[in-house]
Structure formats: C-alpha cells, structure tokens
Amino acid sequence: MPRWQLRCFLILWTISACLGKTLEARMESFMCPEGEEETLFSCKTRLIGRDRMLNGTFTNHVDFDESFEVWVNFMQFKNGEWVQGNIKLRLRACDYLTKFFGKYFLPMIKDTNVPPVEELCPFPKGEYYIRNGKMEPQNWPTLLYRGLNKVIIDFVRDGKSTGGFRILIELSELER
C-alpha cells in the first residue's frame, strides 16, 4: 500500500472513530471555598435528582471586575491520585466571564437571573439563583480526559485568593 494511501486511511479512520460519540458529564460535587482575607462569592447549593442538577443561590459580595484574576485548573483522577490535566489558565475577570464561563457554563443554566454574556463584565454584586443547572459538555474541548475530573476555579486579587469554585465531574462518552 503506497504511503499516501496509508495516511489517508489513518486520517479517515481517526475521523470516523470520533464521529458518533458525544460527551456526557455528571456533576459529583460543587463547593464554594472561602477566600484568605475576603470572600468574593458565597453559595448555598445542592445537587438534586439522578441527573445531579445544580440548584441554589450565589451571593456576589463585591463587583467582580478587572481588579480580579481567575485561575482555572483541570485535574484528573488517575491511578489513585489527582494529576494535572490539559487545561491550566490565568485570565483577567472579563476574559473569564465572557470567554470561559459565558461560553462553556452559562448555556447549561436554563433558569437563572445571572445576566447574559454581553452584560457579565463587570459582574455586579447581588444574589443570583440557579435552577436545574445540568452539565452539558457538547461544546467543551475534546482534549478533556474521560473519567473523574476536578475543576478548580480561584478568584485572586492582589495575589490573594478571594474564593472560587470546586467542581467534581465524571466525564464519559456515549455512543449516538
């Protein structure tokens, strides 16, 4: 078999192996740790039902603006321990709100008073609710590991943590 035919076969086989699969995510836990000296967000949430939908309220204690950085880190549980995943970001607050939260997480929340993406920066202080928020990873990057993943999101101002989110997700593939 000529070399170019082998390459074409491998490319087509790889594409066909990826087609017909869709990601499914199950949220195992959701927490809002406190900050070192101040806490930006506090939350009262719970996961309900077999689909583990997120319900509850979040209180934003100060305007979330460009004075904050957001550190996003994905970890994977592998061979009995947490190891660094493929994604580790440091973003300004507005970039996080519009390019990360607004793109990957906000579309999953059908019933909320969180502002739309265009109005997220600065994110005004106040109390926000979420009802029946379900992980829907269809538009997530394909480079995420299948299995148990921990998403660590820290809000940082002046080099000090002001809280964040800890989300534990089981990610798997389903045949279509």
Please say whether the beta carbons of 31 and 165 come within 8 A.
yes
Q: What is the pLDDT of residue 175?
A: 63
Sheet strand arrangement including 53-60: 41-48, 53-60, 126-133, 111-112
Q: What is the pLDDT of residue 24?
A: 81
State yes or no: cis peptide before 122, omega within 30 of 0: yes
Q: What is the pLDDT of residue 19?
A: 47
Per-residue pLDDT of the chain (176 residues; tens, 9 = 90+): 555 544 544 454 444 444 446 778 888 999 999 988 888 889 999 999 988 999 999 999 999 999 999 999 999 999 999 999 888 889 999 999 988 888 888 888 889 999 988 888 899 999 999 999 887 777 676 667 789 999 999 999 999 999 999 999 998 887 65
Could you count the other beta carbons within 10 Å of the beta carbon of residue 41? 23
Q: What is the pLDDT of residue 176?
A: 58
- CA 37, 43, 44, 49 torsion-angle sign: negative
Distance CA 69, CA 34 (A): 16
Structural domains in the chain, sorted by start: 23-175 (2.70.220.10)
Q: What is the pLDDT of residue 143?
A: 63
| Structure-token pair, residue 110 | 């059908």
